[in-house]
Structure 1
Amino acid sequence: MQTLTDDFFNAARTGDLAFLRQHIGEMKDLNVRDSRGYTPLIIATYNGQLEAAEILLEAGADVNAADYGGNTSLMGVCFKGYPDIATLLIRHNADLNLQHGNGGTALMFAAMFGRNNLVKLLLDHGADKYVRENRGLTAIDLAAQQGNAEGVELLDAVDADN
């Protein structure tokens, strides 16, 4: 049997803005988690639902909530490549340097997956390129490993500007 929570997650996933607006007040906890620890905001952002994410954030969803692996919405959009949603999350004070279970950051995801517009966005907003993941690698190391020459240049240019 479908519950309000199930329907709410589905609305976040599909961008059903009317449902979200109609039922947001009925949700006891906007940061409720599914079996993987995903919140409605994580689901909305990962699925590219900008307006759904905006509704959730305006209603008080935790911009820095993480799934059970420590992945946040910002990390997900940096993996997927959604700069508009990343900008929204940053406007809502997303922590740019949170680390997931293996020590990775949003900047590392952007660098690894060649999302260089997001690398630039994160750097412009103060992401720390010196954070190391569990193996001791930084975002520039991960960009180099993946052959992301433009990402390496962007990350390297931060030092040149200082």
Structure 2
Amino acid sequence: MKAHVAALTIILAALCPAAQDSPFYLPIRNNDLTTLKKLIDSPGPKARDGRGNSPLMYSAALGSLESMRVLLDAGADPNAANDFAATPLMWCAGDAAKVRLLLSKGAKVDTRSKLGRTPLLIAAAYDGAVEAARLLIEKGADVNARDEGGMSVLEQAASSNHIELIRLLLAKGANFRVFCWHMSRWPGRPSSCLGNTEPASTVSG
């Protein structure tokens, strides 16, 4: 998860260099809840940076669960999207605790970014995101969603060799033929999750 946070720090800075100039950025990054609470009145939890990112997005990506609670309790919108149509849930899609909190506040599970990515598609890219994915699916996330490039949730998990997540997706109705196609591309990788001892390329749906 530390590597995940580090990557998001770089991504956030790349998307909007002005993000680090936001008065919310450092208090959230440093888990300074005292300063964060002082900022609630002005400029407020609905403030946006130059790319439409909200304080809750910073917190979802880089901050603590406590900082997210502070912002949500102050009226931050869990479904507010930035200029790329990304929502707070997408910024923390691999973190089960943060996902659970946002879902409890009404976050929508099948919103799409401009690239067609859903929170579940994003979660499938991260190792250790099985519990977060389970929470999203329980709330109705589409296990067969595809992004604008045609990548499905199952394909995303298979391409990252996330065996436990592949099991979960198949159990929840993910397209098995897509899974078989990936096994034919990467023989011997995810086939073990089905208990199959034959070469992956021989498996048919």
The TM-score bracket by the shorter chain reads 0.7 to 0.9
Q: Where does residue 137 of structure 2 map in the other structure?
A: 123
Larger radius of gyration: 2
Letter of the 1:98 counterpart:
T
Given the two structures, how large is their TM-score scaled by the length of structure 1? 0.85
Q: Where does residue 42 of structure 1 map in the other structure?
A: 57
Report 1:61-76 matches (<5 A): 61-76=76-91
The CA distance in 2 between the partners of 1:14 and 1:93, in whole Å, is 26
Q: Where does residue 106 of structure 2 map in the other structure?
A: 93
Long gaps (5+) in structure 2: 1-20, 175-205
Sequence identity, in percent? 33
* Cα RMSD after superposing both structures: 1.9
Between the two structures, name the one with larger relative contact order (CA 8 Å, sep ≥ 6): 1
Deviations 1:44-76 (A, max 9, x none): 111131111101111111101222222221111
Alignment length (residue pairs):
153
Is 1:133 the counterpart of 2:127? The answer is: no
Task: Provide the secondary structure at the position in 2 that maps to 1:117.
Answer: helix
Q: Could you tell me which of 42, 50, 63 is aligned with 1:26?
A: 42
Given the two structures, how large is their TM-score scaled by the length of structure 2? 0.68
Report the more deviating stretch, 122-131 or 49-58. 122-131
Q: Could you tell me whether the CA contact under 8 Å between 1:14 and 1:44 is conserved in 2?
A: no
Report the more deviating stretch, 35-44 or 87-96. 35-44
The CA distance in 2 between the partners of 1:135 and 1:22, in whole Å, is 43
Deviations 1:85-135 (A, max 9, x none): 111101001111011111011101111223112111211222111222112
Q: Could you tell me whether the CA contact under 8 Å between 1:63 and 1:93 is conserved in 2?
A: yes
